[in-house]
Amino acid sequence: MITDTLFDITKASESRIADVDLDAPGFGREFADHMLEMEYRDGQWQQPEIKPFGSIEITPALNALHYAQSVFEGTKAYYVDGSTINLFRVQKNYERMARSCERMCIPTIEKDIFIEGIKELIRLDHQWVPEKEGNTLYIRPFACAFDPIISARVAEQYRFYIITSPVGSYYERPVKLTTTQQYVRAVKGGVGAAKTAGNYAASLYPAQQAKKEGFDQVLWLDAEEHTYVEEVGTMNIFFVIDGVLVTPSLRGTILPGVTRDSIIELAKHWDMPVEERRISIEEVMQAGKDDKLEEVFGAGTAAVVAPVEEVHHDGQSVTFDIDGRGPVGQKFYKAITDIQYGKAEDPFDWIASVKID
């Protein structure tokens, strides 16, 4: 065991990387050699440990399994060269996880543990970062209740983990979206702005129904009036209407995406007209009919910028004859990925580079 100022480190005796095709890893199916684990007990977080990736033993009475007191994050590592791996805006991921923890009554993890833990895992498992452009190492920090008690109350014990996974593209083609008048993702006063497991579980059934109808994801509307666009199940949403970039404003029911924020910052940097505001689905559909809806795209860590080829609502569709990103979406995609892969200057100080010995 190697002792570090922040972490106890136990290295894997043998790497599993020879069994993985990093050029075609899929998404979330393969995992790198090491993980971080930290326990919360007796009112404080204990010494974090980095150890070989593997199964964890739990009781069927585990609190998190019954009451979903669980939060997570998602970020990526990008191969630059043999000595450098880039991380993108991990500070924003930490800040969002801290807010999610507070909302779900989970003790906040220290920033140094979160950020330095990611960096240390990258140093140990840097060979797992795919060199093929477009493929990355997905990083999944998560925390959950760990009481061995079936009781609907705030837990006293927790676990924090970071695991990593080589991944390819999340969407292989433009996506088709449909609204639903029957289901909602989040309500005011709820947990829509937190990255918590229950949000995603609740969205699975409507998404499954959408897929049966030939769509890829649900374009969620607000819970009160079923009128205003909020987000997609796996990403935030952007519209280009008559030359203006428009995205729904954050009102506590939308996840504040890191990629979303990056696109808005880039638009302002370029003096591109951008509006964060309430936008009704009727406005979107009418803009489509009037040929003013120039592009629609989603934005998220997994997808980066995903083009939308159809928006369906109440029996009507707006479609785009595309086989890839439109010019605006492509401009954002290229700008973000060029910064991520170290191909362009980073005027925003978004990148944290990890040096490999």
pLDDT (tens digit per residue) in 51-100: 999 999 999 999 999 999 999 999 999 999 999 999 999 999 999 999 99
Are 247 and 186 contacting, i.e. CB atoms less than 8 angstroms apart? no
Q: pTM for this structure?
A: 0.95
Distance (Å, whole) CA 248 – CA 237: 8
Distance (Å, whole) CA 209 – CA 216: 10
pLDDT (tens digit per residue) in 299-338: 999 889 999 999 999 999 999 999 899 999 999 999 999 9
pLDDT (tens digit per residue) in 104-126: 999 999 999 999 999 999 999 99
Q: Which of 126, 135, 101 is nearest to 25 (CA)?
A: 135
pLDDT (tens digit per residue) in 250-277: 999 999 999 999 999 999 999 999 999 9
CATH classification code of 2-167: 3.30.470.10
Residue 1 has pLDDT above 50, yes or no: no
pLDDT (tens digit per residue) in 33-64: 999 999 999 999 999 999 999 999 999 999 99
Q: Please tell me the predicted confidence (pLDDT) of residue 4.
A: 53
- Same CATH fold, 175-340 and 2-167? no
219: number of Cβ within 10 Å: 26
**Tokens linked to 10:** 């136990």
For residue 60, give every residue at least 6 positions away whose Cβ sits within 8 Å of its Cβ, in sequence order, or none. none
Kindly list the domain boundaries of the chain, sorted by start residue. Answer: 2-167, 175-340
One-letter amino acid at 298 equals G
Residue 2 has pLDDT above 70, yes or no: no
The mean per-residue pLDDT over the stretch 331-357 comes to 97
The three-state secondary structure class of 303 is coil
Q: Which of 75, 72, 71, 70 is nearest to 258 (CA)?
A: 75
The mean per-residue pLDDT over the stretch 142-150 comes to 97
Q: Please tell me the predicted confidence (pLDDT) of residue 3.
A: 46
CATH classification code of 175-340: 3.20.10.10
